[in-house]
A and B are shown apart, each in its own frame.
Chain A
Amino acid sequence: MASQPVDNKTIWTVIWASSIGTLIEWYDFYIFGTLTAIISIQFFPSENPTAALLAALAAFAAGFIVRPFGALVFGRLGDLVGRKYTFLVTLLLMGLSTFAIGLIPSYKTFAAAPFLVLLLRLVQGLALGGEYGGAATYVSEHVTAEVRGYYTSFIQTTATLGLFLALGVIWITKQQVGTEAFNEWGWRIPFLISAFLVAVSVFIRLRMAESPLFSKIKAEGKISTNPLKESFGNKTNMKMVLLALFGATAGQGVVWYTGQFYANSFIQNTLKVHDDQRVSLMLIAIALATPFFVVFGKWSDKIGRKWIMMAGMLIAVCSYMPIYKTMDSLANETEKTLVPDKSTKMSVMAASTKNPLDIITTTTTYNTYTDDTYIETVTKETKWADATQTTIKPEVKKTVYLSKSNYWMMLFLVFIQIIFVTMVYGPIAAFLVELFPTRIRYSSMSLPYHIGNGIFGGLTPFIATALAATGGAARFNGLYYPIAIAGICLIIGTIFLSNKIDENVED
């Protein structure tokens, strides 16, 4: 337990100050990922849209890959100078880089824009790498063993709430300024808002005191002189770092990203569900599932951390395939019966704006199915005046409008995936804190968390999309990546981890 009893009011202030800052950091981090398509048009050469999107995805991946380096840099700082000042620095870095992305002129007027955006994205990754370990350590070092899972679970809600906030702010901004203006300049607003959010959070954090456990070891002169060497150069501790990574955080990372990011991307890019329906169902599912972080965090104080996390991984591994196949059946027209009376098709021919002799035929098909699903398909085909010109593939844009019952079913399927997330993620802060001693806790817990969450988890949409890109029956192949990683982690965690709650983290 903490060296001196901390009163209830102080604990809630500590949780509030830590959570709000971490929430804002996640928000900052996710608005970039959510706006990848627009960012690619704004900041990367537009001649080749695929290359532009990939460039932005690379920046996205870079944002994840640098997170472990942030964990090392700020973890070391946190163990040397203290938790409070370190996570103030990470918050400022994150806020400033996010705000700066919102100010960078587009590639058309500023050729260095792609490099600058990439650089700022890397700074975001570094800052995030230092934030979580600090917040989790700071909260846990204020509380006693019997409520550690409960209180640290509030930190665990912040990643999901950060995604919620990012989706919500983007959606509201789009509604307010209109889609065209949003794509032109409105996308900058969510980035610029960050400055205000960070200022509020820095103000709150500045008024906080240092963690009592860190203050105690500092007063006793027991602070580590080389936290990185002690954390990763010491065999006994390194064994724990590896165990935390392969027995818990890697599986947690893939479950986290599959349940939220891959689900979102699958509904958007594979199922082509209308944006308003997709965003609203994601927001509702997240809002309904978020309290379960606290439920499982609190429960872990009673029955231990291990089995809740392992159960989450087991259910996820067993149910991903059926869940995604059901999601597919809700929106896939090949599995539905068309109602011919309620389906229409119309074609409009117009001269091309580039060459009036070229004819563009736009065919819009509205198909209604027996389950009330409605699919709009717009096909644009160009007939060249010059017959020798190579025929290009027609441009097809499909939008699926789910029926009311299918919408709620889709929402439920996303909701249960987020429940798996709450099971693996809710108790993990307490679990990691209990694994490492105070003098090197920030460094030791940050690295496995960010390798697991950032690399194994963060690359889930990227690797899964690549695996599924072959098309046809392979559309579910992307799921093999999270299933395999979570499966390996489940086996290692079940056999190697202890379910014992460490009563005393004051070591």
Chain B
Amino acid sequence: MNNIKKIIGLLCIILGLLAEYYLITAITSGSLVKNPEENMIFALTVIPVSIPVILGGLVLFGYYAFKGEYDTVE
């Protein structure tokens, strides 16, 4: 089970980085939302919030899991 936790940790790091990259490129290129006003709302709300949550949160969670910090959590 601890090895699975490590693999999931690694996947979370990759997922967090990819998700953040996709979000930022999709929003800045306007491919997620065609309407410019709506896209601006996305840019102003989703990007600043997603950075601490996805990069700071999911990647950190993945890092802890990969390092085996959750191996003994009950």
Residues of A within 8 A of B (CB): 50-51, 54, 57-58, 61-62, 65, 235, 238-240, 242-243, 245-246, 451, 455, 459, 463, 466-467, 469-470, 488, 491-492, 495-496, 498, 500
Question: Is B60's CB within 8 Å of the partner chain A?
Answer: yes
Q: Are B37 and A246 in contact (CB under 8 A)?
A: no
Given contacts A50-B35, A54-B38, 20 further A-B contacts (CB under 8 A): A54-B37, A54-B41, A58-B41, A58-B44, A61-B45, A65-B49, A239-B64, A239-B69, A239-B73, A240-B73, A242-B64, A243-B73, A451-B53, A451-B57, A455-B53, A466-B33, A466-B38, A469-B33, A495-B8, A496-B70
Closest 4 pairs between A and B when the two form their complex, measured CB to CB: A242-B61, A58-B41, A466-B33, A61-B45
**In the bound complex, CA of A307 to CA of B57 (Å):** 24
Selected contact of A488 from candidates B15, B41, B70, B74, CB within 8 Å: B15
Which residues of the other chain, A, contact B13 by a CB distance below 8 angstroms? Answer: none
Residues of B within 8 A of A (CB): 1, 4-5, 8, 12, 15, 32-35, 37-38, 41-42, 44-46, 49, 53, 57-58, 60-61, 64-65, 69-70, 73-74
**In the bound complex, CA of A273 to CA of B33 (Å):** 25
Given contacts A54-B37, A246-B58, A466-B42, contact A455 B49 (CB under 8 A): yes
**In the bound complex, CA of A238 to CA of B38 (Å):** 34
Which residues of the other chain, A, contact B4 by a CB distance below 8 angstroms? Answer: 495
Q: Are A245 and B57 in contact (CB under 8 A)?
A: yes
Given contacts A65-B45, A466-B42, A491-B8, contact A243 B37 (CB under 8 A): no
A479 CB to nearest chain B CB (Å): 16
Q: Are A61 and B70 in contact (CB under 8 A)?
A: no
A213 CB to nearest chain B CB (Å): 22
Q: Are A496 and B53 in contact (CB under 8 A)?
A: no
Which residues of the other chain, B, contact A239 by a CB distance below 8 angstroms? Answer: 64, 69-70, 73
A-B contact pairs, 24 of them (CB 8 A): A50-B37, A54-B41, A61-B41, A61-B45, A65-B49, A235-B69, A238-B60, A239-B73, A240-B73, A242-B57, A242-B64, A243-B70, A246-B12, A246-B58, A451-B57, A455-B49, A466-B33, A466-B42, A467-B32, A469-B33, A495-B4, A495-B8, A496-B5, A496-B65
Which residues of the other chain, B, contact A467 by a CB distance below 8 angstroms? Answer: 32
**In the bound complex, CA of A54 to CA of B45 (Å):** 12
B45 closest partner in A (C-beta): A61
Q: Are B33 and A243 in contact (CB under 8 A)?
A: no
B70 CB to nearest chain A CB (Å): 6
**In the bound complex, CA of A238 to CA of B61 (Å):** 9
Which residues of the other chain, A, contact B64 by a CB distance below 8 angstroms? Answer: 239, 242
**In the bound complex, CA of A93 to CA of B12 (Å):** 38
**In the bound complex, CA of A206 to CA of B1 (Å):** 49
